[in-house]
Amino acid sequence: MTPVLNVDKPALRRIARGGAVLGSGGGGDPHIGRLMAEQELGDDKTVSVVSLDDLPDDALILPIAMMGAPHVMLERFPAGNEIPALVATMEKLMGREVSAILCIEAGGLNSVIPFIAAAQLDLPIIDGDAMGRAFPELQMVTFTLAGLNATPMAMYDDKGNGATFDTVSNQWTERLARALTIEMGGAAMVGLYPVIAGEIRDCLIKGSLSLAHRIGDLIETYGGQATETLASSLGGTMLFHGRVRDVERRLEGAFAKGSVKIEGQGDFRGRNVVLGFQNEFLSAEEDGRMLATTPDLITLIDANTGAPVPTDTVKYGLSVKVLGLPCDPIWRSDEGLAIVGPRYFGIDVDYTPLDVA
Amino acid sequence: MTPVLNVDKPALRRIARGGAVLGSGGGGDPHIGRLMAEQELGDDKTVSVVSLDDLPDDALILPIAMMGAPHVMLERFPAGNEIPALVATMEKLMGREVSAILCIEAGGLNSVIPFIAAAQLDLPIIDGDAMGRAFPELQMVTFTLAGLNATPMAMYDDKGNGATFDTVSNQWTERLARALTIEMGGAAMVGLYPVIAGEIRDCLIKGSLSLAHRIGDLIETYGGQATETLASSLGGTMLFHGRVRDVERRLEGAFAKGSVKIEGQGDFRGRNVVLGFQNEFLSAEEDGRMLATTPDLITLIDANTGAPVPTDTVKYGLSVKVLGLPCDPIWRSDEGLAIVGPRYFGIDVDYTPLDVA
């Protein structure tokens, strides 16, 4: 296997920046995961990112992710035994050894968490994911559309408590695992959707990690001007540029919901947009007209530094650019829109693909 | 193996009555479990209750119980697949076949639930349990005192959702399993504390099911006069006889807490006692003096019929007898009192063994 990338600390930093862009404002801060993964990498170690094409059909691939609130995990750094315990549990349940790690969610924190597992276990990571972005619930993956099961799933907390699930639907896995994550203190490491290479060749979103790396590279190079470059080179569009004039936030259930009002600057002077969010940005609206909605990506970028701005820290007065990126085509199917389209999140509009003309 | 008892429907009814007495006012209504077990027994089948002494040291014994709110289980009768799924999961985790079923809690609903498993799987039940009564939390068993683990534990709901646990303490098993039971809709079937015969010879409370059967038999025979007979033949005492004058109930967390005031009748005229409860009756107090406290059993019995009266249905005006029964001696150790003594439940007195002189 010739790796697509050999990920050392600087490469990991670029992937974390790219993961923040693909997070669409949510999914947790990838730099938290980066700090953990850097401990595992040390100064010399690298993790190989490989193509799915290079794995035989029967190779067992295990997605590793963090479930819950990232800030909890930051306050109580993982004990280090969670991932080996997860992998041992899953190998026992599946009756075979894990050949590679997978990133289930290339946006946000979980773009980087799998690198901890890969570094600890000396395993490669597949260049791909099952969202192409961040989504808030674990059934919101292309694997669900392909009829694959989230279970057997395993989870471990930092105290050493573990659980496994065997459920009748991926929605039930989400419900049960969410309840247990809360009881475990708000955060846990999880292994879920164990798959063999042969069954995900058509439903894996390919190239996600090398894409994240490329995005991070462009931000490092272009800084405050990265948005325009990202839009043109990734087939997206710069939806807006302006200053944050109002942020409204509320907690509904486990979700942070709210909106951000932006007043146009430069070419956008005299116009106003409102971004709606539920963990991730879900809609960009101008005078009752939708500029973009989920599942397309809406990412807010600091106009001065090029750094992505998450929904949970965006502040009054910040000058921002709004980047729209097309989602993976699989999400634009009726089945895809049913689980991640605007109506699922209570936004009463039909989905219209992002206009990148 | 010569069975201690062959349990058919009439014998099951006696065990359910006895289980209600051993429930100390709580543990759920055994007759709910009896209805389910009767379906499995049909008209011809019996379940063998056997002595632990008849099992070889390496025989795997699996306690089966219901966790959560009994009334939920009654509204949504178990689908029937829960127990086979539980047993298959535990056999896989333990790497061997189950030889016998165990009753973890001889008081309340769980005195009868294991008979469903035994009837479904054609397995014997051990004549014993790990509480000698009912307690509200799963770590409150003699197995915890003996250093045995509640995990691996498995649970299944009526929809087919399952989970397993691997925890750092039996208290953590309680917390996690309780949270998941709530998310599963309020009730689940569980298999926990899988043990081999050799490791529980000193910590099993022996004879619990034949005791429950004998209690049920005495109630059938003596009706309203059963309390006196139970007291004398079980080494207990009739603590009080009177009329319920007040019932106070409140919900605190997952627990029903409250008190029952009883005004003396007959020999007890002119005296008053107050029973305190948290699911189970925990204390019987007369003018600031404790007549009995947990872990000794305090059971309220309808003075007219001999039927045990649970904390959740006791009503104003009922004529009742209060039966005190000594707990198993293991609970009177410092270690035992630490997990089930009065102070654990917030009752600020030292434990004094029930006076049966």
Are A169 and A278 part of one and the same domain? no
Q: Over pLDDT 90: what percentage of chain A? A: 88
CA triple B259-B263-B269, angle to 5 deg = 150
A346 touches chain B (CB under 8 A): no
**Is the omega angle on the peptide bond into residue A70 within 30 degrees of 0, that is, cis?**
no
Which residue in A161, A168, A179 is closest to B167 by CB distance? Answer: A161
Residues B178 and B86 in one domain: yes
Alpha helices, H only, B280-355: 334-340
Residue A68 has pLDDT above 90, yes or no: no
The answer on B322 and B193 residing in a single domain is: no
Question: Cα–Cα distance between B84 and B71 in angstroms, integer?
Answer: 22
Instruction: Check whether A243 has a pLDDT greater than 70.
Output: yes
The answer to whether residues B60 and B148 belong to one domain is yes
Judge contact between B190 and B113, C-beta under 8 A: no
Pairwise CB contact (< 8 Å): A175 & B163: no
**Residue B36 belongs to some domain of the structure:** yes
Compute the distance between CA of residue A221 and CA of residue A14 in angstroms, rounded to an integer. Answer: 11
Residue A76 has pLDDT above 70, yes or no: no
Residue A38 lies in a domain: yes
B191 and B337 both lie in a single domain? no
**How far does the CA of residue A158 sit from the closest CA of chain B (Å)?**
11
- Locate the chain A residue with the closest alpha carbon to B170: A161
**What is the structure's pLDDT at A356?**
85
Which of A161, A165, A168 comes nearest B159 by C-beta?
A168
Chain A interface, mutation test: which of B82, B91, B183, B192, most A Cβ atoms within 10 Å? B183
Per-residue pLDDT at B69? 77
**Which residues are within 8 A (CB) of B167 and not within 5 positions of it... i.e. 6 or more apart?**
A160, A161, A162, B149, B150, B151, B153, B173, B176
Contacts of B323 (CB under 8 A, 6+ apart): B21, B227, B230, B231, B236, B237, B238, B239, B297, B298, B299, B300, B301
Give the chain B residue whose CA is nearest to the CA of A152.
Answer: B163
> Which pLDDT value is given to residue A357?
67
Residue with tokens 């600031």: B288
Residue A138 pLDDT greater than 70, yes or no: yes
Q: Angle, to 10 degrees, between the axis of helix B113-121 and the axis of helix B82-94?
A: 80
- The tokens for A65 are 């992710």
Judging contacts by C-beta atoms under 8 Å, the chain B residues touching residue A166 are 89, 161-164
CB pairs under 8 A between A and B: 59
Tell if the CB–CB gap between A161 and B183 is shorter than 8 Å.
no
Q: Tell me if residue A85 falls in helix, strand or coil.
A: helix
B215: DSSP letter: H
| Domain end call among B155, B180, B208 | B208
Tell whether A184 lies on the interface with B, counting CB pairs under 8 A: yes
- pLDDT (mean) for A190-195: 98
Contact list in A for residue B162 (CB cut-off 8 A) is 165-167
Per-residue pLDDT for A218 more than 80? yes
The DSSP string of B166-212 is E-SSHHHHHHHHHHHHHHTTSEEEEE---EEGGGSTTTSEETHHHHH
Q: Which residue range forms the structural domain that includes residue B80? A: 5-208
| pLDDT, average across residues A29-44 | 89
* Residue in chain A nearest B184 by alpha carbon: A176
The count of structural domains within chain B is 2
A73 with A19, same domain?
yes
Contact check, Cβ <8 Å, B165/A166: no
A-chain residues near B180 (CB < 8 A): 163, 176, 179-180, 183
What pLDDT score was predicted for residue A204?
98
Instruction: Indicate which of B149, B161, B165, B182 best probes the interface with A, i.e. most A CBs within 10 Å of its own CB.
Output: B161
B15 domain-assigned: yes
State the CATH number of the domain containing residue B285.
2.40.390.10
Alpha carbons B148 and B193: distance in angstroms, whole number: 7
CATH number at residue B160: 3.40.1610.10
Across the range A216-232, mean pLDDT stands at 94
Find out whether A49 and A335 touch, Cβ atoms under 8 Å. Answer: no
Q: With CB atoms and an 8 Å threshold, state whether A166 touches B168.
A: no
Same domain, B176 and B234: no
In a domain, A189, yes or no: yes
Q: Chain-wide mean pLDDT for chain A?
A: 94
In-domain check, residue B308: yes
pLDDT the model gives residue B36: 87
- B-chain CB neighbours of A89 within 8 Å are 166
My answer on whether B42 and B191 are in the same domain is yes
A84 in B contact zone (CB under 8 Å)? no
Of B161, B166, B179, the CB nearest to A180: B179
- Chain B, 86 to 145: residues with Cβ < 8 Å from chain A are 89
Asked if residues B110 and B33 have their Cβ atoms less than 8 Å apart, the reply is yes
Q: How far is B85 from chain A (nearest CA, A)?
A: 10
- Name the stretches of chain B with pLDDT < 70: 70-71, 73-79, 357
Same domain? For B27 and B174 the reply is yes
In terms of domains, do A67 and A158 share one?
yes
Residue B312 lies in a domain: yes
Nearest CB to A160 within list B163, B168, B184: B168
Please give the residue that has the higher pLDDT: either B251 or A281: A281
Residue B356 belongs to a domain: no
Kindly state whether residues A204 and A229 are assigned to the same domain. Answer: no
Contacts of B160 in chain A (CB under 8 A): 167-168
The kind and range of the H/E element at B222 are: helix B208-222
Q: A180 and B182: CB-CB below 8 Å?
A: no
A161 touches chain B (CB under 8 A): yes
B202 vs B204: CA distance, rounded Å: 6
**Range A316-339 average pLDDT:** 97
Q: Distance from B88 to chain A by nearest Cα, in Å?
A: 13
Beta bridge partners of A298: A324
The pLDDT, as a whole number, for residue A183 is 94
Instruction: Write out chain B residues lying below 8 Å of A165, CB-based.
Output: 161-163
Q: Assess whether pLDDT exceeds 90 at residue A340.
A: yes
Question: Residue A161 and residue B168: Cβ atoms within 8 Å?
Answer: yes
Per-residue model confidence (pLDDT) at position A78: 66
Per-residue model confidence as pLDDT tens digits over A80-137: 789 999 999 999 999 999 999 999 999 999 999 999 999 999 999 999 999 999 999 9
Supply the pLDDT for residue A1: 78
Closest CB from B160, B176, B182 relative to A168: B160
Per the CB < 8 A criterion, the answer to whether A131 and A194 are in contact is: no
**Does A183 contact B at CB distance below 8 Å?**
yes
pLDDT at position A74 is 66
One-letter identity of residue A321: K
Q: Of the residues B151, B173, B208, which one is the last residue of a structural domain?
A: B208
A176–B183 CB contact, under 8 Å: yes
Please state, in angstroms and as integers, the Cα–Cα distance from residue B287 to each residue in B9, B261, B271, B345, following that order. 44, 12, 9, 20
What does the pLDDT read at residue B299? 97
Whether B353 is in a domain gets the answer no
- Contact of A179 with B181, CB cutoff 8 Å: no
Contact at CB, B161 and A172, closer than 8 angstroms:
yes
Residue in chain A nearest B92 by alpha carbon: A93
Domain boundary among B182, B208, B234: B208
Residues B168 and B278 both lie in one domain: no
Exposure b/e, A299-328, CB count within 10 A at least 16 = b: bbbbbeebbbbbbbebeeebebbbbbbbbb
Verify whether the Cβ–Cβ distance B162 to A166 is below 8 Å: yes
Is the minimum CB–CB distance between B165 and chain A shorter than 8 Å? yes
Q: Distance, in angstroms, between B192 CA and closest chain A CA?
A: 13
Number of neighbouring beta carbons within 10 Å of residue B50: 21
